[in-house]
Amino acid sequence: MRRPVQEGLVGFAAIWLSASVGVAAAAGGRPRLSVSAPASGCPAIDGTFVVLLDPQRGMLLLSGAEFVGGHPVGRATGGALRVALPRSGTWDLSRAGSPAGPLELWGAAYPARTDGIGGCVAFDREQFSSEGDLVTYAQWLVTEVYLKLPAAERERFPALRLANRVVRLRLQPAGYQPVVLQDTEGATMALRVPGGSQTLLLRPFVLDDATERLAIELSITEEPYWQKASKRPLGFVVASVAQPATLTDPAMTIQVEAASAQPAAPGPLE
């Protein structure tokens, strides 16, 4: 789903646009699942879907409600649980439960590239058109986001959750007035770089709620219609409320103003 293009002038001719990657949870009743699995390198994580990674076996997809391709794997009551599945063996959870109370846990194992890394991801999207749609989404979050995070950040924060938190960034291009962009995590934000034809694309992912620390995937394009344009990847930068990220090309700083479950009130521009 794409959001409407938004345009604004903030001190210089700047156009910012945002496009969602479909992470918004549909209205429904899929319960939130909370899992801890140190044996898989996952200290704790929660979401409507939880994915545990194993360097040899791929990924275990779990949810607190039935999903296409899934099977009942046990009763999640808040305590330890051993999940046994054909062909993938057993997966040990030190804790599996839900704020909704005891529930039937559903799971399925799938191949996934892990690069020899354990850990876990979770997401709050609820509706998928098919098993392939669900598995492709989970694999995208693992291979295109989690595995591409800076190694030090992934080791520090081994549980990545993609939810509906609102992120607000303040971009300060060198020699120009700041621009504030706001959207949900995982969405693509875009800024026309002042003084040229380039458009900088930013896609933030929340690493830590307490410090509002983000990993921001960057890319750049010379074409005006960036959604379908060829893009040059710039990798990830890390920023937080207390620690802005500094770019050299294009020259600017990126400051996190907020990363929260509620829409952030716009702050004043200096």
Question: pLDDT of 151-207, one tens digit each?
Answer: 999 999 999 999 989 999 999 999 999 999 999 999 999 999 998 889 999 999 999
Q: What is the pLDDT of residue 270?
A: 39
Q: What residues contact 197, with CB distance under 8 A and at least 6 apart?
A: 222, 224
Distance CA 43, CA 209 (A): 15
225, pLDDT greater than 90 = no
Strand partners, 188: 19
Computed over its alpha carbons, how large is the radius of gyration of the chain? 20
Distance of CA 252 to the CA centre of its chain: 24
Q: What is the pLDDT of residue 15?
A: 30
Q: Closest Cα partner for 215 from 232, 230, 202?
A: 202
Cα atoms in the 13 Å half-sphere on the side-chain side of 18: 20
Question: Can you give the residue ranges of every domain in the chain?
Answer: 6-23+164-260, 33-162
Beta-sheet strands, E only, within 64-185? 71-76, 81-85, 89-93, 95-97, 103-110, 119-123, 159-162, 166-173, 179-184
14, pLDDT greater than 50 = no
φ, ψ for residue 188 (rounded to 5)?
A: -95, 125
Cis peptide preceding 102, ω within 30 of 0: no
Q: What is the pTM of this model?
A: 0.83
Q: What tokens were used for 72?
A: 């009942």
Q: What is the pLDDT of residue 166?
A: 96
Distance CA 65, CA 163 (A): 18
Q: Closest Cα partner for 121 from 91, 164, 161, 153?
A: 161
* Contact indicator for 172, 191 with CB cutoff of 8 Å: no
Q: For 5, which DSSP code?
A: P
Q: What tokens were used for 132?
A: 């392939």
- Over residues 114-142, mean pLDDT: 95
Q: What is the pLDDT of residue 3?
A: 38
Q: What tokens were used for 88?
A: 């993938």
Of the given ranges (11-15, 121-125, 261-265), which has the lowest mean pLDDT? 11-15
267, pLDDT greater than 90 = no
Which of helix, strand or coil describes residue 20? coil
